[in-house]
């Protein structure tokens, strides 16, 4: 447990007070419960939270028929106490999936997905502002990812998932979500065409989540604003759902300034479009970042450092 300590606020005031959009962070139940300084910064700076792992199928039902809602319930209860919105994450995803799901035949898989969506969404009905219903359904070239859902249920599984989620909570905003769709490219083109098609069919899809996991060495996606605008023209909301900017190690002042440029450009691209309604980062402190465990040699992707001090990127979007 990290000792409680005072964490100075920005002179400009909390990040959540700088905009009329939701400003959020992914949250882990462990540090939320155990680290007073982590909790204090989260409470002060953000008005929306996304459970990092606690609502994923592999966590809530690792063993078939045995549910563990403890982490998800703790985050939702915290949000209620502190007046924050919750982004539900996620209902249908090929990763962090219980092993037993892969072994199901098509008919049983379809009924199991239906039960999972109904059970999860109904549990939090009225407490979730928006759900990431289906995430990461496409390959980089725009073809469908060959997930267990795609292989056994076919193209229609996405529309079906949205209809099921809407039936369980008609007031929650329902999103499709993916990474590497920040700019205009074959993958974002595929998401665009899917959303356009679903809207024409009356499927209750109401938003596109653009994850925005960026890295300095790959450059900033210069068509991000144009991409957000074209999704908005389809009549859906857009959300930046998992923003971070990885830095090749070692980190230095110049790289921190370059990181700040990336955050500012992403922030500005969202704020340039009325229907971009949310800017959420995937964690807010390098203390608990997912990056070094997944991308060896890269780190320091968040707005706050390990000691919860705001970095240049924070001050760039909250001057």
DSSP 8-state secondary structure symbol assigned to residue 310: B
DSSP 8-state secondary structure symbol assigned to residue 18: G
Phi and psi, residue 98, nearest 5°: -60, 140
SS (H, E, C) 96-125: CCCHHHHCCCHHHHHHHHHHHHHHHHHHCC
The catalytic residues are 136, 242
Query: Residues 175, 214, 22, 230: what is their CA dihedral angle, to the nearest 10 degrees?
Result: -50
Alpha helix ranges (H) inside 137-238: 148-153, 157-168, 186-200, 224-233
- Pairing between β-strand 237-248 and β-strand 207-210 as defined by DSSP bridges: parallel
Residues 291, 228, 203: CA angle, nearest 5 degrees: 100
Q: What is the largest CA-CA distance in the chain?
A: 57
CA distance 173 to 166: 8
Beta bridge partners of 89: 132
Element (H, E) at 217: none
DSSP-assigned letters across all residues of 221-260:
-TTHHHHHHHHHHTT-EEEEEEEEEEEESSP-HHHHHHHH
**Residues 149/95, Cβ–Cβ less than 8 Å:** no
**Residues 31/302, Cβ–Cβ less than 8 Å:** no
DSSP 8-state secondary structure symbol assigned to residue 128: -
CB-count burial class (<10 Å; 0-12, 13-18, 19+) for 80 = exposed
């Amino acid at each position: 447990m990290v000792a409680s300590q005072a964490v100075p606020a920005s002179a400009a005031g909390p990040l959540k007070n700088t905009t009329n959009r939701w400003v959020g962070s992914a949250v882990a139940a462990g540090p939320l419960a155990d680290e007073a300084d982590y909790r204090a910064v989260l409470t002060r700076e953000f008005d929306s939270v996304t459970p990092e792992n606690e609502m994923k199928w592999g966590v809530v039902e690792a063993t078939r028929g045995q549910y563990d809602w403890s982490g998800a319930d703790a985050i939702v209860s915290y949000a209620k106490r502190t007046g924050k919105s919750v982004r539900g994450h996620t209902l249908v995803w090929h990763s962090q999936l219980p092993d037993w799901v892969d072994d199901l035949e098509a008919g049983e898989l379809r009924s199991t997905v239906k039960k999972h969506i109904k059970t999860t969404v109904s549990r939090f009905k009225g407490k979730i502002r928006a759900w990431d219903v289906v995430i990461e359904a496409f390959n980089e070239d725009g073809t469908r990812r060959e997930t267990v859902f795609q292989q056994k249920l076919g193209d229609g599984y996405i529309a079906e998932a949205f209809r099921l989620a809407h039936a369980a909570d008609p007031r929650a905003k329902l999103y499709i979500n993916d990474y590497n769709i920040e700019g205009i490219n074959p993958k974002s083109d595929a998401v665009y065409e899917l959303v356009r098609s679903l809207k024409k069919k009356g499927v209750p899809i109401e938003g596109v989540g653009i994850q925005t996991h960026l890295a300095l060495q790959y450059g900033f996606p210069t068509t991000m604003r144009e991409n957000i605008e074209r999704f908005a023209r389809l009549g859906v909301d857009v959300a930046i759902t998992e923003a971070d900017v990885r830095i090749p190690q070692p980190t230095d002042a110049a790289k921190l300034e370059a990181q700040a440029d990336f955050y500012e450009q992403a922030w500005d691209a969202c704020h340039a479009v009325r229907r971009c309604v949310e800017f959420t980062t995937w964690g807010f402190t390098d203390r608990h970042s997912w990056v070094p465990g997944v991308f060896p040699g890269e780190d320091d992707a968040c707005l706050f450092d390990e000691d919860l001090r705001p970095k240049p990127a924070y001050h760039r979007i909250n001057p």
